[in-house]
Structure 1
């Protein structure tokens, strides 16, 4: 039997509803789910009757979410993510995988990460930590879907909704430009100026869900690709000030005082009881005075 949520809602029904709500088309949702359309329609009507609300407004030409439907879509996604994450973590534990999986954006936390890992390894009972370096904006998704136990995230760009977290440090931002570009000699830039540097468009970001401001430039997947594009004179970017620590010699950093402050956090699933996660968080917190 499928697990049930309050009011008798089954995960199967929730998956059906989320598919329809995302597609806003019963035919496409049925195809995505691998079922016929009539049973899908019946399941949604049964769900609406059980909840006593209308979730979808249907016409002969369109399907639209009601206000109640929008709430269930948001909450349903979170609930299904939690179920899938629990399944993945349970299977990983049973398979004898690494004790902890930590994800961080490639090229980020270059100074924080080694100190955190060293501090944790020195703790009694420390387990193996598998560090996975991911593309820009991917670490939050990996933590939500259960492929990671802990993540280093960056506010305001990543969302910590549904996670427990501890702040590790806050910093300003700088514009990264080619070392030979006229802007590299400037004392500072405003955000507005950084967005219109001649020949250096700001990039487009994948996996951003509206949190990373898009520019008109090339789409980037990770910092290595981004820095190469900047060095070639194809883009510029506004990034946390800590990128200065290991900046390539063909790039320059110009302060952007009016850019939003960036806070690095270590995040983990809410209400976790893992002693290993708690130990890793303590090790990360111990680095705070040195950030």
Structure 2
């Protein structure tokens, strides 16, 4: 079977996103006829129609939707491979660890202390990001290791080790009707305004932004929202906030994740350190 080139995938992604040959050609910096020929050749090679063309519009077929999804992943993988290779060959190579603020279950100081003693350890750069951005940064090569949370983060393309399984709490203003309760159930939150990333989608107002967590807590303190978060965040709350266990919420599992088939000794050393300090190892 013939392999598709990155150029073909780039052409197809541009056309799929623009759904207009003229705009896609302009975006790619080429003339429209070569783009049209390349897309026709691509359809011949894959053997199925990728586009529905009329005089008024261009639309993706179901097969085209699949190729668009896979093309984006493939191009991201190529870009990530180049970035990781360049960073690995740098004179002062460093291990980039990405996490959202407070998103490492309080384990990071112990992990770093243990990691520094490993002979394969190198300098660590901590990269703080907004809600939902860790997996993206690990996937595109900007980071070597990430702290992720299941079931909320997409783990495809990663290897991972579980570190902590956390119960969930709801964070509310100190004067909220639920603030004095010993526990609540999800049904008790009916009618409350929850940020949309609670269901696994990221609301545009909360990420990717390294200050998103602080803005979220400010909105909760103002009575605009309540949020269900891992219990490890309870110790970091402001005085004008309260937390209550949510007894029937699905737990959140903290994981340390890295790209599949990674051969980095520094990554392996960091994962060993993380697993060693995990409560699962005790």
TM-score past 0.5 threshold = yes
Match among 41, 57, 70 for residue 46 of structure 1: 41
| Mapping 1:80-91, distance limit 5 Å | 80-91=75-86
Match among 185, 200, 205 for residue 211 of structure 1: 200
User: 2:223 maps to what in 1?
Assistant: 233
Establish whether residue 220 from structure 1 lines up as the match of residue 243 from structure 2: no
TM-superposed deviation, 1:110? 5.0
User: 1:202 maps to what in 2?
Assistant: 194
Distance 1:174 1:30 in 2: 50
Deviations 1:39-78 (A, max 9, x none): 2222111111122221112222232322322222222111
Deviations 1:131-170 (A, max 9, x none): 1111111111111111101111111111010111111121
Gaps of 5+ in 2: none
Contact kept? 2:132, 2:202, Cα under 8 Å: no
**Aligned with 1:18: secondary structure?**
helix
Distance 1:264 1:105 in 2: 12
Establish whether residue 136 from structure 1 lines up as the match of residue 131 from structure 2: yes
Contact kept? 1:177, 1:183, Cα under 8 Å: yes
Distance 1:20 1:163 in 2: 29
Distance 2:25 2:182 in 1: 57
TM-superposed deviation, 1:98? 3.9
What's the Cα RMSD here?
2.2
Contact kept? 1:106, 1:136, Cα under 8 Å: no
Contact kept? 2:105, 2:164, Cα under 8 Å: no
Distance 1:211 1:237 in 2: 13
Contact kept? 1:104, 1:139, Cα under 8 Å: yes
Gaps of 5+ in 1: 1-5
Q: TM-score if structure 1 supplies the norm length? A: 0.87
Contact kept? 1:154, 1:264, Cα under 8 Å: yes
Contact kept? 1:195, 1:202, Cα under 8 Å: no
User: How many residue pairs were aligned?
Assistant: 277
Distance 2:50 2:149 in 1: 34
CA distance 1:220–1:230, change in 2 (3 Å): same
Q: TM-score if structure 2 supplies the norm length? A: 0.90
User: 1:247 maps to what in 2?
Assistant: 237
